[in-house]
Structure 1
Amino acid sequence: MPENPLSAPNRCAIYTRKSTNSRLDHEVNSLTTQHEICSAYVASQRYRGWTALPRSYDDGGHSGSGLERPALAALMHDIEAGEIDTVVVYKIDRLTRSLLDFVRLIEIFDRRSIGLVSVSQAFDTTDSMGRMILNVLLTFSQFERELIAERVRDSIRTRKRHGRIHGGLAPFGYEYRDGELEVVEAEAEIVGFIYAAFLRHGTYTAAMTAVREAGFCSSFKTARNGTLGSGLIGHSQKMTVAARATAEKKTVGQRS
């Protein structure tokens, strides 16, 4: 007779966490209390084949804002080793307080077919209702990530329209002063030569050859790549001057 899927073995790992070390054993939300509540829930699901693993995964004195926790690392190691079927927590925020980190964990759980149960929140991805709730959470998370990406793109476009660099190291010939790019006079002649060579030859390859032949190569060998190395910002096939050289030295222009 085929085995009843409801009674198939389900190895449950109980994970607990508390942010501070003080009174870990005395508060209602202590690691011990969390573990007892989760253990009782797993025992109530014995008819479904659930059993609590003997190993404890307890993170005392660790914040839920990140994933760098020793017990969580041990939990993930055992998941990857195929030793766990379901992760049981008292509340979701014991696992993580970050929605993005939660999504990352769920992706790993899904890849390994790991269930997640929050005892106090009636959240159980081993059944259809729990999976529906999870899909709603993941949908909102994806929506949030796309909004953030749009804001970042809009910010980059705005800075480029105003000829401002969008983070990273200052291009060769410039330095940051109060958040703005300012010309380094000692390097202005080389920058002017780069602009002139590019406008004269029309390609970066030819311009860089001319720069090397002029003996300037060693002066800016660490000047990033061809687009930023001469004080330019690349975006949508257009090159825009990021900062103007001094009046007597500058060569200003756009190349579409």
Structure 2
Amino acid sequence: MIIATYNVNGINGRLPVLLRWLAERQPDIVVLQELKAPQEKFPLSAIRDLGYDAIWHGQKSWNGVAILSRVGEIHETRRGLPGEVDDNQSRYIEAAVNGILIGGLYLPNGNPRPGPKFDYKLRWFERLIEHAAGLFETGLPVMLAGDFNVMPTDLDVYKPERWLNDALFAPEVKAAYFRLLDQGWTDALRTLHPGEIIYTFFDYFRNAYARNAGLRIDHILLSPTLADRLADAQVDVEVRGWEKTSDHAPVWVQLAEKPKRRRKPTASSQVGASL
């Protein structure tokens, strides 16, 4: 099963790109961000023509998240994070699909820093951490996927020295990301590509895509039961080079039907471990 996340940067304006990618990659479940469309303007008919059902949490001109599925019903469990009653930004949607609980998220950008937008980003991240802890403690197969708007390490950003004052690379934001991981989540892409320069976002300016001057800000986090099924994780970077495309590239994981067999330790490894 292939599950993907994709910041489409305007679902109606980029609909031909999204439909082309869906037809070519044929992911089973997709989490979308930055719909930039009110609830009634979601292009459900075009998406259903490709065999997907969908739920979405729209917002006029800004934000917006969705979950698509071609492998079973989408049972929505939540839209919006708990913890801030008057937060009306459409940034989180959660559903059970084909035996997996999926939280689709679009974390705030936070710029300029310092300022109210950065403060909101930190509050939102804290709410996510608290909610994720509850999901993790259920022991269910859970996935958190989306645009986290954070580059966790220097390896995740082209020329990190240029981003020291940016909200996406702020120490508080990186620390929040690792506090989230410390609950026990697996960063799928980095786990399978530990030392690789791999980006998911390329700015429209300064020929960033052609120069491979990007950022890794789109992440898929897996609970232990899903991490044991992780078979592959990739970025469809070529999609970023298509005409009238998003500034993000789709990220996807492939999950095996059954957990991978754990190799039994050999006698020599047991001896080595005891030394």
In the superposition, the TM-score normalised over structure 1's length comes to 0.24
Structure with larger Rg = 1
Choose between structure 1 and 2: higher strand proportion.
2
Higher relative contact order (CA 8 A, sep 6+): 2
In the superposition, the TM-score normalised over structure 2's length comes to 0.23
